[in-house]
């Protein structure tokens, strides 16, 4: 029996994508072996690789001026690769701090070159309960790039309108809200997303980049660390994570079959309305710390009147078949991660549980 999985990442995958992987595991399309036993240089794997790229391009309506690169090392590796590639000596990069992951991105960039904090919503106790408005961010017109985080997985905040960085290249970590709705990625110079939140298993990171921006990357780097190398070699400069990319392909096929990003947005908004509506209606029992305008559609955080009740909530939810609800160790409380693979019915089941729990303990 499968449980209802609210894990923050690695997270729930659509069951049809997993069933397809099961059915294709031993004998992929009559080839007599699994996809992960195929050469990455062979026609069988190449077709999967290109199908994943084509589906992504179609879903995102991506112009030809943009390229899709499969990278590895997680989003955390991109925290280092972005400044290594695009922050040359004598330049500075702007970072907007909105949570733990953006702090980590900045920490890596500091080890590479000059940085500036262009905006931060960090509270004195270290928490974040909102993202900044455009007016609160002071961007430097000659920054090498501006780095932002579109959705803050730990704190449950999200940019619903992206910052306008003008002529300065905008680099965005979209790990936890990639493909949650139709998004025009051509306003960014480079976006990246670790697959294990909303796209597939861990092991692969999707990078969507403007081809001209990639060409500005530093050449004084080992080849393997240059984005341009992966772009020039169709993400097969070395052996790509073939199984992870295959699973991303399955998820993308499912996504398109369900009606694409418009359908995902409708679903995700309905789930978020259900969750936040319940939190607001039961505000005497549940506390939702995030400011309304910054509430994340992907990660919904809240707490109960006591830590003991938080723990009881998690334990009883588990007994009712729902897992992954414990908040991040930095924030405590409860976190509901409701990515694309989490259905409206899953969320309705949780909401019923939340109502019953509040009634019993409130
Ligand atoms: C999970 C996450 C990361 C880190 O991903 P890794 O694959 O563990 O490196 C970075 N940024 C955001 C927004 C995340 O949600």
Average pLDDT for 243-254 = 98
Q: Is the pLDDT of residue 67 over 90?
A: yes
What local confidence, expressed as pLDDT, does residue 262 receive? 98
What local confidence, expressed as pLDDT, does residue 272 receive? 98
Q: Is the pLDDT of residue 234 over 90?
A: yes
Average pLDDT for 240-268 = 98
Is 175 a pocket residue for ligand 1 (Cβ < 6 Å)? Answer: yes
346: how many CB neighbours lie within 10 A of its CB?
20
Average pLDDT for 313-318 = 98
Question: What does pTM read for this prediction?
Answer: 0.98
Is 206 a pocket residue for ligand 1 (Cβ < 6 Å)? Answer: no
What local confidence, expressed as pLDDT, does residue 40 receive? 97
What local confidence, expressed as pLDDT, does residue 278 receive? 98
Q: Is the pLDDT of residue 1 over 90?
A: no
With tokens 């505000």, the residue in question is 283
What is the biggest distance separating any 2 CA atoms in the chain, rounded to whole angstroms?
63
Query: What is the sign of the dihedral through the CA atoms of 124, 126, 128 and 134?
Result: positive
What local confidence, expressed as pLDDT, does residue 102 receive? 98
- How many angstroms is it from 101 CA to the middle of ligand 1? 7
Is 216 a pocket residue for ligand 1 (Cβ < 6 Å)? Answer: no
Q: List the beta strands (DSSP E) in the chain.
A: 4-5, 66-71, 92-97, 114-120, 146-149, 151-152, 157-158, 170-173, 190-194, 205-210, 299-302, 322-323, 334-337
With tokens 């994508």, the residue in question is 17
Average pLDDT for 342-355 = 98
How buried is 323 (Cβ within 10 angstroms: 0-12 exposed, 13-18 middle, 19+ buried)? middle
With tokens 């295959």, the residue in question is 246
3-state SS, 113-168, equals CEEEEEEECCCCCCCCCCCCCHHHCCCCCCCCCEEEECEECCCCEECCCCCCCCCC
What local confidence, expressed as pLDDT, does residue 362 receive? 85
What local confidence, expressed as pLDDT, does residue 160 receive? 97
Average pLDDT, the chain: 97
What local confidence, expressed as pLDDT, does residue 192 receive? 98
What local confidence, expressed as pLDDT, does residue 63 receive? 98
pLDDT digits (tens, 9 = 90+) for 208-228: 999 999 999 999 999 999 999
Q: Is the pLDDT of residue 231 over 90?
A: yes
pLDDT digits (tens, 9 = 90+) for 143-199: 999 999 999 999 999 999 999 999 999 999 999 999 999 999 999 999 999 999 999
Q: What percent of the chain has pLDDT over 70?
A: 100
Residue numbers annotated as active site: 101, 173, 197
Which residue among 73, 194, 195 has the greatest number of ligand 1 atoms within 8 angstroms of its CB, and so is best to mutate? 194
Specify the pairing of strand 157-158 against strand 170-173: unpaired
Average pLDDT for 224-237 = 98
Which residue among 9, 202, 248 has the greatest number of ligand 1 atoms within 8 angstroms of its CB, and so is best to mutate? 9
Q: How far apart are the first and last CA of the chain?
A: 32
Q: Phi, psi (5° rounding) for residue 322? A: -125, 125
């Amino acid at each position: 029996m499968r449980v209802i999985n609210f894990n923050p990442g690695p997270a729930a995958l659509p069951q049809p994508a997993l069933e397809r992987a099961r059915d294709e595991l031993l004998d992929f399309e009559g080839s007599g072996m699994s996809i992960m036993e195929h050469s990455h240089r062979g026609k069988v794997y190449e077709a999967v690789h290109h199908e994943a790229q084509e589906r992504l391009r179609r879903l995102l309506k991506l112009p030809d001026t943009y390229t899709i690169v499969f990278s590895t090392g997680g989003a955390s590796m991109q925290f280092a690769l972005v400044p290594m590639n695009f922050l040359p000596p004598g330049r500075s990069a702007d970072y907007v701090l909105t949570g733990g992951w953006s702090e980590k991105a900045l920490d890596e960039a500091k080890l590479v070159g000059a940085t500036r904090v262009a905006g931060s919503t960090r509270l004195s106790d270290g928490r974040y309960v909102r993202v900044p408005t455009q007016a609160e961010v002071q961007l430097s017109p000659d920054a090498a790039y501006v780095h932002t985080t579109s959705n803050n997985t730990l704190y449950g905040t999200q940019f619903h309108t992206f910052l306008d960085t003008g002529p300065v290249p905008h680099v965005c970590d979209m790990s936890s809200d990639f493909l949650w709705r139709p998004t025009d990625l051509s306003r960014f110079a480079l976006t990246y997303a670790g697959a294990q939140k909303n796209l597939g298993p861990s092991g692969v990171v999707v990078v969507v980049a403007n081809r001209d921006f990639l060409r500005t990357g530093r050449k004084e780097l080992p080849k393997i660390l240059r984005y341009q190398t992966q772009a020039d070699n169709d993400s097969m400069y070395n052996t790509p994570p073939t199984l992870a990319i295959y699973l991303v392909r399955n998820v993308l096929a499912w996504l398109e079959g369900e009606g694409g990003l418009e359908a995902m947005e409708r679903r995700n908004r309905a789930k978020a309305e259900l969750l936040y509506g319940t939190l607001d209606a039961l505000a005497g029992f549940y506390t939702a710390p995030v400011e309304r305008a910054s509430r994340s559609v992907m990660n919904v955080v809240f707490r109960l009147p006591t830590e003991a009740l938080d723990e009881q909530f998690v334990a009883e939810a588990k007994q009712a078949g729902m897992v992954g609800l414990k908040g991040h160790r930095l924030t405590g409380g409860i976190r509901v991660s409701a990515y694309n693979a989490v259905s409206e019915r899953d969320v309705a089941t949780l909401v019923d549980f939340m109502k019953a729990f509040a009634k019993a303990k409130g």
